[in-house]
A and B are shown apart, each in its own frame.
Chain A
Amino acid sequence: MKFPYSEKVLDHFKNPRNVGKIENPDGKGLEGSPACGDMVAVYLNVNPETLVIEDIRFESYGCASNIATASIITEMAKGKTLDEAKNISWKQATEELGGLPTVKAHCSVLAVEGLRAAIRDYEEKHGLVSEKETTTEEVVRRRLKHVMNPMAGLDIIRTELVTKIEINEGSVRILIDLPSDHQFASAIKEDILEKVKSLWDIEEVNVVFTE
């Protein structure tokens, strides 16, 4: 049989490593939503002395790319310090898996996000994070670097799909250089909302497409 995935992706999809939940984890991250089509939960147990990830598990409601990336990420992160694990990139995970179809990039990036969210959660709970930062254009831009442009397999910032970001009293307006009836428009919009809505001082997010 032929599949659009590498042998390694299929192996991790069929036999995902470190699957399940950790009861009372030291850190927990949940990324994505059923509406986006993919969701991943990452659980961590961390050695408080060494800050080494001693146990890591994940749950996934997602496609093959999502499950395989989550699985490989847990293998890569186990035994690493939080700082080391934080630096595991989507690109490294993809390379480790022997590549992923370009169109599936946004499904797999969630797993990396899930790991980072779990680490952030640990750091916040253990007083390792500084004060909440005010949302600026730079903060939004940083978040949007996690929204994939499925046409290119790179994020929407790097591929210059975002033409303008305006922030005004808790409201963010993001202009996207794509017609609203483009085949990827609604998927991109969902992803943007997902990434930006959760900012603590933001109440409203408007994604505007070009006509």
Chain B
Amino acid sequence: MGLLEDKVVPGREERIKASMAYGGSACGLVKADKICLRNQERTFAQAGLCQLLPTLGMLASLPDTAIIVHGAIGCASTGFGANIGSRLRHVQMGRTAIKDTIWISTNLSESEVVHGGEQRLEDTIYETYEELKPKSIVVLQTCAPSIIGDDLHSVIDRVREKLDIPILASTCEGFKTKIWATGYDVAFHAIVHGYIENDKEGRPPRKEGRKEGEKPLVNIINLASVGLTDENEIKRILNSIGIEVNIGPNFASREDIRRMTQADLTVSICPTHDDYFVDYLNKEYGIPFVLRDMPIGLENTKNWLLDIASKVGLQKEAEKFIEEETKKTLKAVEKYTPYLKGKKVFLSAGEFRALVTGLLIQELGMEVTGLRAYHHDYFGDEFYTKLVKAQDGKDFVVDIANFQPFELMNILQKVKPDLFIGHVSDNLSAAKLGFPAATIFRIFDYYIGYRGFYEFAKKMTRVLKNPAFNKKLSENVTHPYKNQWYEENPFKYIKIVKSEDNDGDIKEIENSFDFASLKGEI
């Protein structure tokens, strides 16, 4: 990966052979050829998501920053959605003088589409600087200016010479990649170049190593979707064993982000999210990293923490902490486990989040009966295997889908889980079918670490106790799918697309699951 050389971030299908279409079993997915998986698409598709959204979500979290969305007016229309995230973060932190995020559309109209939009962009940057006095300006390039050939980077080079604040630039056109998680890479790329590589002060020097008696400083890469609650739990865990924490880059200032180059270790809480940035800090600043687990569930939290502790020589402290916390947490959830034991759960979220939550629900005595992940890459393989093993080899259905509720609803009708656990916007399908559903993500909740384990059990118990809202809803709403759809193979519309580089070695992947095998168990 050419993080420093490349101006444009490669799509994840290229960089790590990520796939966005598969339907079958967990075991089948792990065994499938990644190149062939990458080439699967759909002949019927529903609304996707483009990389602009995660990019916008991340970059809008930077304080005192103006976001300029270079494109037609609609691409900036979710700015107020991104603003809700940062507003609530301020509220959580008790900041009363809340300032809303500023976002601006260059509002390209037919005339710019014909004559080019570079001038409009450049003027917008200068006027934003003059009028709104932000501490940084972020530019997001969308589809339309890319197609008409606007040269974002030459505009950015020009304005960087004239303005004394950091200018962050990102090319996040929706048509460039089918894996929208690429948007995280794009945001990291913009942050690295804007605040470190091309910053007026130059890049910070490389740290020479930890001084005698100095506590290890660890970078925690946070996610815009992880709340302050979870961040506080991470901080508590690491501080407890003697680690200093620097959290960023979401919601972090330029100074805090630059300080991330001076850490002793970088810790990811989600490899899907972080690998691009972790790699940068490692290559350019020699900072070792932990990029494997996500501290959700007891076993995952343990592995994650021991991994970190071993890198900074604090194993003993970690082991003692883990033992005490685990005992305390297990005792606390005892009152909830009778409600949870034996329940069949369907999970839906970003792949890594769904998988680690799978281990958590197994620890609470529940079973994974199906999983829908937004995309697939090799980070997940190990966890599919772990999940199947943990339920005595009982395989489950997996749908790799950039949402695609038509597949999900078909699967749910066949699998009939006791509980659906999904990322925001996923729960709607389950709710319409009457299943109890709970979100896997809400920034006021705890999901991570020991507190997360307890709060999760408590919340799932609450959801299972009274599913009346969804149940009544399902009796009173109609679905847009034809009845016969529910009789079909849910993966009917997945196809392999041949591409120039691998026509020769296409291996067919079986996109089906034997649902009949589930029936005996209900």
Do A and B pair up? The answer is: no
Chain A residues in the interface with B (C-beta under 8 A): none
